[in-house]
Amino acid sequence: MKYFYLKIILFTWLISTHEVEYDNEFKFKAVCLSCKHDNDRLAARKLSWEHYRVAHERMTLDHKSIGAWKSNLKSIGCFVGNPVSGRPIEAINLYNIRKVLELINEDSEISTRKIERLTGISRSTIRRILDEFNFKTYKPTIVQKLYIGDNIKRKDFCKWILKKTDESPYFYRNIYFSDEAVFHVSGAINQHNAHVWATANPFKSQQRSNNPQRLIVWALIGYSGIVKFEILERTVNSDVYREILQKHVIPFFNKRGNSNLIFQQDGAPGHYSVVNRELLDLELPNRWIGRGAKLFQMPPRSPDLTVCDFFLWGYLKQRVYSHKIENLNDLRQTIIKELSEIPLDMIRRAVDNFYKRSQKCVEYGGMHFEMFMKKSN
């Protein structure tokens, strides 16, 4: 009886199958799939199943047909028939596919324009080949160069953060990050987006001074928001930084009298000076991390592990430079306005993101990890 049902199923499948006219687009896809897997039969099965899933109708595709298409492309430069006379039509043949893929494998950063120049294959054909083989363009993540031993320090620091958080939930939320950044009146001119619409060239220019006007912004940021900031017109050397510590940092931590709060600073020369380290050791004993700290050393060249660098400055500059700024006073007022309008929930997500980054840093052995994080992170 079961053989009877099998015959019915087979008969039903056969009568529901019909001849399909394969266009050149389909044949090109079949040839690419076959080359990708180096298997005509597998390509035929995959395409038949894909056609059934999309069109809900069965299709018989003989693997020999794919072999014939490949052979014709290789020998005469087209899928069927004889080479046409007159202006030659560029062939998407096996040689072209192989040549494009070889160049991509040799240099993953090569441009389609350069491939066109090296092979003579049009860019539209190159893009079709790359698309069929599931190639996509990805922008690299710009990261700080690491030196020998940096990854060990980064990993040890992040392991300490994770360990302390295991011992005391949300330990990392007690850390307040500090840093400085430079803001120019001229902003950051984007040559790609800087353009003027006109019916004739107006010969418009944008001036940039050799001695640009600028302000230096220092900020202290943590889970409760941006708690302190200072806007300066002078370079932050050891003396200036000592004033910032005495005016902002030490009063903030002493006022709260909470020994769980921790101050973080990077290893800039002004921060690392002996007098400033001694001041922090005296006023905030075992309550600060940074270069030369007794509690824990902040790893060098690690902007991906400080909230100011991976969040605050990038966001703030984007907001500030979206305004038209004429002078230093405009710049100062715009910075103050934009600092005050950063949403608290956004800052808190950035602080929580510091913990996720510490996990990723340990996972990748202290090496760069940002390219492996989700965009939402």
pLDDT digits (tens, 9 = 90+) for 292-305: 999 999 999 999 99
Q: Distance between CA 280 and CA 254 in Å, rounded?
A: 12
pLDDT for 88 equals: 44
Determine what percent of the chain is predicted with pLDDT higher than 90.
Answer: 47
Angle at 100 between CA 98 and CA 102, to 5 degrees: 65
Which of 132, 158, 176 is the last residue before a domain boundary?
Answer: 132
Q: Between β-strands 175-184 and 214-222, what pairing exists: parallel, antiparallel or unpaired?
A: antiparallel
What pLDDT digit, counting tens, does each position of 123-177 carry?
888 888 888 777 887 777 777 788 899 999 999 999 999 999 999 999 999 999 9
pLDDT bucket at 278, cuts 50 / 70 / 90: very high
* Mean pLDDT value across the chain: 80
| pLDDT higher than 80, residue 39 | no
> 223 and 101 in one domain?
no
Count of structural domains within the chain: 2
Nearby residues of 16 by Cβ (< 8 Å), 6 or more positions away? 57, 58
> 118 and 155 in one domain?
no
> 168 and 63 in one domain?
no
> 361 and 303 in one domain?
yes
| pLDDT higher than 90, residue 265 | yes
> 233 and 116 in one domain?
no
> 172 and 117 in one domain?
no
In a domain? residue 285: yes
Which of 87, 104, 132 is the last residue before a domain boundary?
Answer: 132
HSE (side-chain half, CA atoms, 13 Å) at 91: 23
pLDDT bucket at 41, cuts 50 / 70 / 90: low
The CATH number covering residue 340 comes to 3.30.420.10
In a domain? residue 199: no
| pLDDT higher than 90, residue 320 | yes
Q: Distance between CA 197 and CA 177 in Å, rounded?
A: 44
Cβ–Cβ under 8 Å, residues 361 and 143: no
Q: Please give the average per-residue pLDDT across 276-281, as a whole number.
A: 96
> 156 and 122 in one domain?
no
Provide the 8-state DSSP code for 342: S
> 44 and 164 in one domain?
no
pLDDT for 178 equals: 97
pTM value surpassing 0.75:
no
**Which of 19-28, 86-95, 157-166, 214-223 has the lowest average pLDDT?**
86-95
In a domain? residue 47: yes
Question: What are the angstrom distances between the C-alpha of 45 and each of 9, 26, 34, 67?
Answer: 19, 14, 11, 14
In a domain? residue 2: no
In a domain? residue 80: yes
- Tokens 């103050």 label which residue? 336
Q: Distance between CA 350 and CA 346 in Å, rounded?
A: 6
> 175 and 39 in one domain?
no
pLDDT for 143 equals: 72
In a domain? residue 360: yes
pLDDT bucket at 186, cuts 50 / 70 / 90: confident
Most confident listed range (141-155, 183-197, 203-217, 218-232): 218-232
Q: Compute CA 290 distance to the chain's CA centroid, rounded to the nearest angstrom.
A: 27
Residue 334 has which token pair? 């715009």
Q: Distance between CA 311 and CA 342 in Å, rounded?
A: 11
In a domain? residue 337: yes
In a domain? residue 139: no
Task: Please spell the DSSP secondary structure of 128-155, one letter per residue.
Answer: HHHHHTT----PPPP-PPP-TTHHHHHH
> 358 and 261 in one domain?
yes
pLDDT for 44 equals: 61
What pLDDT digit, counting tens, does each position of 49-94 carry?
565 454 555 556 666 676 776 666 665 556 555 444 444 444 556 7
pLDDT for 192 equals: 42
Cβ–Cβ under 8 Å, residues 264 and 312: no
Question: What are the angstrom distances between the C-alpha of 328 and each of 154, 175, 186?
Answer: 38, 32, 10
> 220 and 341 in one domain?
yes
| pLDDT higher than 60, residue 365 | yes
Q: Please give the average per-residue pLDDT across 274-292, as a whole number.
A: 95
Which residue from 76, 83, 71 is spatially nearest to 34, judged by alpha carbons?
Answer: 71
Determine what percent of the chain is predicted with pLDDT higher than 70.
Answer: 71
**Which of 3-7, 37-41, 233-237 has the lowest average pLDDT?**
3-7
Which of 88, 105, 132 is the last residue before a domain boundary?
Answer: 132
> 118 and 220 in one domain?
no
| pLDDT higher than 60, residue 10 | no
Q: Distance between CA 237 and CA 242 in Å, rounded?
A: 9
Range of the domain at 82: 18-132
Question: What are the angstrom distances between the C-alpha of 22 and each of 29, 50, 63, 74?
Answer: 11, 14, 13, 19
